[in-house]
Structure 1
Amino acid sequence: MMNTKSTKFLVRTLLLALFFSFGNFFSQNNGAVGINTASPNPNSVLDVVSVNNNKGILIPRLTVTQRDAITINPANDDGLTVYNTTEDCLNYWSLADNEWKSVCGQIGKSVFTIDCANTKASGTYIQGKTLNTSHYLTVTVNVTKKGSYTITGTTTNGYNFYATGVFLNTGIQTVQVAGQGTPSAVQSDTVQLFANGVSVSCTPAVTVNVLSSAAIYSVSCGSATVNGVYTKGTALGAGNTITLPVTVTALGSYSITTNTVDGISFSGSGIFTATGNQNITLSGTGKPTSTADKVMTITSNSADGESTCNVTVIMTIPSKKILHIGLETVYGYSAFTGPSRSLMDSPTNFGTSAASVVKSGGYTHTSLGGAPSNATLLAALNTKPDIVIIGYAYTPDATASGYIANYLNNKGVVIAFEDDAASSQNMMRAIFSDPTISAANGAGAGSVYALVNTNDPILNGPFGDVRGKNWGEDASTTVNITGLTSGFIPYSYAQPINSTTPRTGISGLRHSSLNFIWFGDGGFLSNENANGNQYPSNTIEPFVAPSSGGYLPVQKSTYGYAGNGYALGGMQVQNSIIFANALAWAIKQAETNGINTQ
């Protein structure tokens, strides 16, 4: 039988030897244990002293996975402490919150990955020039655990990048990592990224080009050319560039950048090897997030002082739904048929190619014919077409005019060509909410009306400047509107330039707040030639858009009856150019302030 007293003595001797192995000595006083101290703190259970002040204490070191594998006994484990090697911080179990807490902060260190493909350097890096707030990395990260973060980017060329903060949410986020230091050599530098101290391997690598001392040069934004087609949601490619004229007075490096607008930006850099006038190319990057035209601010690094100027990038407008109301004949009264329709559908005029006059996805067309019932009209307007085009011989009554006015008040777009006095009066009274407005027939076929000299998008648009020029009446009589007092922009008055018979009123206008254009001639777009060539008459069919030019609108060179000092056909009219400008305005209004933007 084992000697119990001997066994207890051996155990006590072994424990004493172990305690002494911790340091110089072990002591116990009133329930407090001391290591390397004879007087342990009476308020502590354990008081450990580093004799030479050069040692610490180690507690269990666990990863997050290992920590979370502990089976917690809530009644006994409140305050249980470990060192979390994943977070690089002490953690303790909180009974009150029923979770592990970090002494580095309640949410501890974050977990995230860096998207190298969406990481890029901003700013111009010049040898010997200290970095400032324009020099930074834009880093895209995917956060899988909220918490604190540190992102660094290092180079071997005298400058680095650093950012720290807290991710309060998980998911894709963007961090701006500030640059600091001074580039010492002209070279291409690889930036080594670190996420919370862990090296990140990027393929391809994130690089920064350090340029030589800046040249002295000036830029000419007014003569810049924006190349390529720009469509919402489509990434910019090699053809999306800006050709920028510059004048160089002293050789050296150049770096020209733009701001980022709705997801896109442009930049270019290099070395000038000759002085004088020359062009440089700024390459585009990114993906447009809206259809709004984008004003890009160009900034250069010329050594004579940073300079800026602006260039506008024109966006492609998506396809629009057109509702046509008018006779479906070769004349093209409502642009559903004839050369006016060909003008609309021509990619030369409205298309997605770099050569298109207006960058547009085109149109889808629906026609109600020349005499739709009011019920048919209302049903069609309730489908919310982007634009309504009205031509001969539609004659809306008061009810139909009310439907059209309501469509306009809901931000619809209407281009109306009318030569019936009663229906024109109905339309004007409904749209302007004024029962005193009157309409009357005026001069007849071949009348020529002067356009006002007002800077307006219809009179001075992408297809030409027709301010101070003319439009021509077709085969019927022009409608003149009187009683309008405000809320409109006049385009032409009732008096033809080739007539001495006095006329009063307005023969063409645009509403100043609604999307409404009107001319008092239902045959404004008339031309029976399928090829759009000039019809051989001086008093009818004033619309011209030759197929040989891609149905590009041009003036009719000989028009008008003789009178008031003008010879027969001695005038020029601009009907097709006015219509094309009106369409360009209409699709932009429909996109930015139309019935389908609400």
Structure 2
Amino acid sequence: MKTKSTTFKIGFLLIALFLNFGKFYSQTNNGGVGINTSSPNSNSVLDVVSGNNNKGILIPRLTETQRNAIAINKPKDDGLTIYNTTEDCFNYWSFIDDEWKSVCGQLGKSVFTVDCSASKAMGAYVKGKELTNSNYLSISVNVTKVGNYTISGTTTNGYNFYGTGVFLNTGTQTVQVLGQGTPQNIQTDTVDLTANGIDVTCTPPISITVLSPSGVYTMSCGSATVNGVYKVGTALTASNTITLPVNVSALGSYTVTTNTVDGISFSASGTFTATGNQNITLSGTGTPTSTSVKTLTITSDSQGGVSTTCSVNVIVVIPKKTVLHIGYETAYGYSAYTGPSRSLMDSPTNFGTTASSIVKYEGFNHISLGNSPSSAALQTALNNKPDIVIIGYNYTPNTTDAGYIASYLNKKGVVIALTDDTGSAQNLLRGIYSDPTISASYGGGAGSVYALSNNDDPILNGPFGDVRGKNWGEDASTTVNVAGLTSGFVPYSYAQPINSATARTGISGLRNSSLNFIWFGDGGFLSNENANGSQYPSITIEPFVAPGSGGYFPVQKSTYGSAGNGYAAGSMQVQNSILFANMIAWAIKQAEFSGINTQ
């Protein structure tokens, strides 16, 4: 009891002193109280005036932990106010929302840490050149409490960085802190970081090299090389670069950048130390968002009125496709499910994710229906929507089968058909073209050689070689030719062999101009019994060559063809494997961008 009485007296004395020194005046009008004023605002119960206009008012200052320890009487404490020193802002208790609110914003101040190792300065910095939107700090942060943030970066060289915003989610994320100002001196600057008013120490610190004014140079974009592998959803690394040849005529700095396309961009900056021809390496950043070929515009800061823009293409790896094979599963590779033709498809030299792969592609899922599937089995397999179908010797589709294949093609499926049976070819082409007048007949025999057209076409002139005006070779059986087609196709070869004097008419190879369909009239188009893919010694059979010693890369068969029409036996060259590799490259592209599973 004695302790309580003493405490009461001391408290009473403090209140009396506060009233005396603060010049409190109780007003009869509405009970208003004024501090340092004899006329408090009539609408206020407390009117505080700074006598010399040099003081403020302090309310209780609590950490967030201390604030949360208050035992809230919900209906009576509505509007209770404190200053939260943790978030550096006023808070009040809201009865309606049943929580503490911040007047700095609904979310209050965020809590986060900076990952210095993943933070860096972006853009080029040149003496006397004002910063633009391309000059910013890319700051990686780990947010543990959502809310407002302020990040700044300062230098002593005429430019700084400042950014503010709101973190709506916790976790790792990246913030762009824009720069402003103009670098004054050529030097390397250290950026001093502050996050929500707290200094951030990075070891090593974020540094920026300020360059001299730009030199004069021209770019050779036609000789630019895109390096590395690009995959959707995979961030670019140090291996993802563009090597750009330039010719420097006047020394100075350089800044070369690209626009951002589908999430990726490239840039380089530095100072030329010599004139003449040399290379600039542009480093990539970002993550590809699609498999489309990205045409990037390269822009330089070269002075002197030279061209400062050009373009380069970046190819992104295409995801795996499912291939349905129909035909004999033998060592000859008739349907590409076995043999050297399968090895060609599975070789990362040809179709892979390495920087040196001809086609940037993740590979195939292979499925086989064998040589003679039932119509029901075919329908089921096609309804499962394989990306690509390859047909080889000696599958013989009937009219029902042809209808299923035509329906699959009309749904944007991809079919490569290599057949040498007249009935099969007739059924297939009649079904696809909806034309009952199309007919098929037998033509040249084993060792027949057919001239390829000069059309600029992705099969005749593709990533594995330009075979326009060259030849393909018939295997051991007899070529099938079709007649009655008047439109809707790109001819690859006609019925007349170059090594035969017997007159023949029709088409022996074609691509449908509106559907994803290729046909050649030889079921043994891919034939080669050598497991290693090397050239088979016969000059009239097995025209396919893709040596394992070269990564199963397709090459021509150098000695082929039966004698006739002025040609000696084995004096011709045929390009079956190159044609097939180009077909597969085309099929992959069609399946990805215009296929049955294209979204």
Q: TM-score, normalised by structure 2?
A: 0.89
**1:532 aligns to what SS in structure 2?**
coil
Give the match for residue 472 of structure 1.
Answer: 473
Offset, 1:48: 2.1
Cα displacement string for residues 387-437 of structure 1 (whole angstroms, at most 9, x for unaligned residues): 322111111112222333333344432211011111112222333344443
Give the match for residue 124 of structure 1.
Answer: 124
Offset, 1:86: 3.1
Amino acid at match of 2:472: W
Query: Residues 436, 208 of structure 1: CA spacing in aligned structure 2 closer, same or farther, 3 A cutoff?
Result: farther
Query: Residues 585, 205 of structure 1: CA spacing in aligned structure 2 closer, same or farther, 3 A cutoff?
Result: farther
Amino acid at match of 1:416: A
Equivalences for residues 579-590 of structure 1 within 5 A: 579-590=580-591
Amino acid at match of 2:576: N
Give the match for residue 29 of structure 1.
Answer: 28
Query: Residues 16, 298 of structure 1: CA spacing in aligned structure 2 closer, same or farther, 3 A cutoff?
Result: same
Cα displacement string for residues 447-491 of structure 1 (whole angstroms, at most 9, x for unaligned residues): 332322222211111110112222222232222233434443322
Q: Is the 8 A contact 1:29 1:40 kept in 2?
A: no
Cα displacement string for residues 1-49 of structure 1 (whole angstroms, at most 9, x for unaligned residues): xxxxxxx9999887544311224x6443332222222222332212222
* 2: CA distance, partners of 1:482 / 1:175: 65
Give the match for residue 337 of structure 2.
Answer: 336
Give the match for residue 5 of structure 2.
Answer: none
Are residues 1:545 and 2:551 paired? no
Give the match for residue 177 of structure 2.
Answer: 177
* 2: CA distance, partners of 1:426 / 1:280: 58
Query: Residues 91, 348 of structure 1: CA spacing in aligned structure 2 closer, same or farther, 3 A cutoff?
Result: closer
Equivalences for residues 7-46 of structure 1 within 5 A: 15-23=15-23, 26-30=25-29, 31-46=31-46
Amino acid at match of 1:219: M
Give the match for residue 86 of structure 1.
Answer: 86
Give the match for residue 461 of structure 2.
Answer: 460
Equivalences for residues 190-589 of structure 1 within 5 A: 190-234=190-234, 236-304=236-304, 307-589=308-590
Equivalences for residues 128-207 of structure 1 within 5 A: 128-207=128-207
Give the match for residue 68 of structure 2.
Answer: 68
Cα displacement string for residues 130-165 of structure 1 (whole angstroms, at most 9, x for unaligned residues): 112221223344444444332211112221111223
Q: Which moved more, 1:429-438 or 1:40-49?
A: 429-438
Amino acid at match of 2:123: G
Q: Which moved more, 1:387-396 or 1:30-39?
A: 30-39
* 1: CA distance, partners of 2:272 / 2:152: 33
* 1: CA distance, partners of 2:41 / 2:531: 106
Q: Is the 8 A contact 1:556 1:574 kept in 2?
A: yes
* 1: CA distance, partners of 2:168 / 2:548: 61
**2:524 aligns to what SS in structure 1?**
coil
Q: Is the 8 A contact 1:447 1:473 kept in 2?
A: yes
Query: Residues 107, 549 of structure 1: CA spacing in aligned structure 2 closer, same or farther, 3 A cutoff?
Result: closer
Q: Is the 8 A contact 1:32 1:45 kept in 2?
A: yes
Offset, 1:182: 1.3
* 2: CA distance, partners of 1:112 / 1:433: 66
Query: Residues 176, 354 of structure 1: CA spacing in aligned structure 2 closer, same or farther, 3 A cutoff?
Result: closer
Cα displacement string for residues 230-281 of structure 1 (whole angstroms, at most 9, x for unaligned residues): 4445554554433221101011222333344445443333332221112233
* 2: CA distance, partners of 1:27 / 1:172: 56
**2:441 aligns to what SS in structure 1?**
strand
**What 5-or-longer segments of structure 2 have no aligned partner?**
1-7
Query: Residues 491, 343 of structure 1: CA spacing in aligned structure 2 closer, same or farther, 3 A cutoff?
Result: same
Cα displacement string for residues 73-118 of structure 1 (whole angstroms, at most 9, x for unaligned residues): 2332222222233333333333344333333333333444434343
Give the match for residue 4 of structure 2.
Answer: none
Q: Which moved more, 1:181-190 or 1:530-539?
A: 530-539
Amino acid at match of 1:544: V
Indicate the RMSD between aligned Cα atoms, in angstroms.
Answer: 3.1
Query: Residues 193, 13 of structure 1: CA spacing in aligned structure 2 closer, same or farther, 3 A cutoff?
Result: closer
Give the match for residue 3 of structure 1.
Answer: none
Offset, 1:290: 4.3
Are residues 1:51 and 2:51 paired? yes
Offset, 1:126: 1.0
Q: Which moved more, 1:33-42 or 1:352-361?
A: 352-361
* 1: CA distance, partners of 2:239 / 2:556: 33
**1:29 aligns to what SS in structure 2?**
coil
Give the match for residue 4 of structure 1.
Answer: none
Identity of aligned residues (%): 73
Amino acid at match of 1:404: I
Cα displacement string for residues 514-558 of structure 1 (whole angstroms, at most 9, x for unaligned residues): 332211111111233444343444433322223443332222334
Amino acid at match of 1:294: K
**What 5-or-longer segments of structure 1 have no aligned partner?**
1-7
Cα displacement string for residues 561-597 of structure 1 (whole angstroms, at most 9, x for unaligned residues): 4455544444332111100111122223334444444
Amino acid at match of 1:302: S
* 2: CA distance, partners of 1:578 / 1:34: 96
**1:424 aligns to what SS in structure 2?**
helix
* 1: CA distance, partners of 2:568 / 2:13: 133
Offset, 1:183: 1.4
* 2: CA distance, partners of 1:232 / 1:11: 71
Amino acid at match of 2:248: V
Q: Which moved more, 1:30-39 or 1:532-541?
A: 532-541
Amino acid at match of 2:206: V
* 2: CA distance, partners of 1:582 / 1:13: 99
* 2: CA distance, partners of 1:453 / 1:206: 58
* 2: CA distance, partners of 1:544 / 1:246: 40
* 2: CA distance, partners of 1:331 / 1:11: 104
Q: Is the 8 A contact 1:491 1:509 kept in 2?
A: yes
* 2: CA distance, partners of 1:230 / 1:451: 35
* 1: CA distance, partners of 2:357 / 2:169: 45
* 1: CA distance, partners of 2:280 / 2:11: 88
Amino acid at match of 1:46: L
Q: Is the 8 A contact 1:494 1:506 kept in 2?
A: yes
Amino acid at match of 1:40: P
Query: Residues 82, 326 of structure 1: CA spacing in aligned structure 2 closer, same or farther, 3 A cutoff?
Result: same
Query: Residues 338, 89 of structure 1: CA spacing in aligned structure 2 closer, same or farther, 3 A cutoff?
Result: closer
